[in-house]
């Protein structure tokens, strides 16, 4: 495990902890993180490896949103081959922390203009709340990363896959290859040291009250 120098900033320590959701001490999370960063020796290289593995090892599935706490654990996500943006951001946070890179969560409401007709029919709006983003602290800077959309999906939607060079934030494709709007950010919920499960659930059902009893989004 790589440990980058954190200097005297003790405030970063909370962004390295294993917790219920970013459970990086779980053997399966450890195994995945170690395999993903094989050959990398610096925080930048480690972050690049983790980002691209998590982006493409799991298909993006916005319908796999089950509001039971255990379903939001990084270790539980590793038992599946697809997940939503929060699943993938959480796994990135957990793996980064395992590698000694401080990591936290950021959430935003977004409007996705392409390829969401089925989801919009369920939500009754084109606004998606609590889109998950991971932030990693590398070389003195917080870098925003969104590993949600796997490469195959981006090709299908005529959008360039989001790449990460280890330096610049990579959070969304504003336009597709034809120049049409693809995604826009509407509201920033801020950053969190741990995944705010109850706030996430409350916000979801505040925006989509008609889904309270929908078993596809069970929160029992």
Q: Compute the C-alpha angle 166/172/176, nearest 5°.
A: 120
H or E stretch including 135? Answer: strand 127-138
What's the pLDDT score for residue 5?
44
- Of the ranges 63-67, 99-103, 173-177, 213-217, which one carries the lowest mean pLDDT score? 173-177
- Of the ranges 21-30, 189-198, 211-220, which one carries the lowest mean pLDDT score? 211-220
Own/partner pairs, 199-204, CB within 8 angstroms, 24+ separation: 200/86, 200/107, 200/130, 201/67, 203/129, 203/130, 204/65, 204/67, 204/129, 204/130
What counts of helices (H) and strands (E) characterise the chain? 7, 6
If 0-12 CB within 10 Å is exposed, 13-18 middle and 19+ buried, where does residue 188 land?
exposed
What's the pLDDT score for residue 177?
54
- Please state, as a whole number, how many other Cβ atoms lie within 10 Å of the Cβ of residue 59: 15
Q: What is the pTM of this model?
A: 0.89
CA 64, chain centre distance (Å): 14
Q: Render pLDDT for 136-176 as a digit per residue (tens, 0 to 9).
A: 999 999 999 999 989 998 888 777 888 899 998 887 655 44
Bridge partners of 99? none
What's the pLDDT score for residue 173?
57
Crossing angle for the helix pair 43-57 and 27-36, to the nearest 10 degrees: 110
In the predicted structure, residue 215 carries a pLDDT above the cut 70 = no
Q: Render pLDDT for 82-111 as a digit per residue (tens, 0 to 9).
A: 999 999 999 999 999 999 999 999 999 988
Distance CA 120, CA 56 (A): 24
């Amino acid at each position: 495990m790589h440990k980058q120098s954190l200097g005297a900033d003790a405030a970063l320590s909370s962004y390295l902890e294993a917790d219920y959701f970013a459970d990086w001490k779980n053997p399966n999370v450890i195994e995945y993180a170690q395999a993903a960063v094989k050959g990398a020796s610096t925080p930048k290289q480690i972050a690049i490896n983790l980002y691209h593995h998590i982006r493409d090892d799991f298909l993006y599935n916005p319908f796999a949103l089950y509001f039971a706490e255990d379903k939001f654990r990084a270790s539980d996500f590793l038992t599946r081959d697809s997940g939503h943006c929060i699943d993938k951001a959480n796994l990135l946070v957990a793996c980064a922390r395992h590698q000694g890179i401080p990591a936290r969560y950021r959430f935003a409401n977004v409007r996705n203009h392409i390829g969401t007709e089925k989801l919009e029919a369920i939500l009754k709006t084109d606004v998606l709340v609590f889109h998950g983003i991971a932030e990693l602290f590398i070389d003195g800077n917080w870098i925003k990363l969104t590993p949600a959309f796997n490469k195959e999906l981006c090709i299908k939607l005529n959008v360039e896959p989001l790449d990460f060079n280890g330096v610049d934030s990579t959070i969304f494709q504003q336009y597709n290859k034809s120049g049409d709007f693809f995604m826009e950010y509407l509201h920033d919920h801020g950053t969190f040291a741990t995944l705010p499960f109850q706030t996430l659930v409350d916000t979801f059902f505040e925006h989509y009250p008609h889904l309270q009893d929908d078993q596809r989004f069970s929160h029992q």
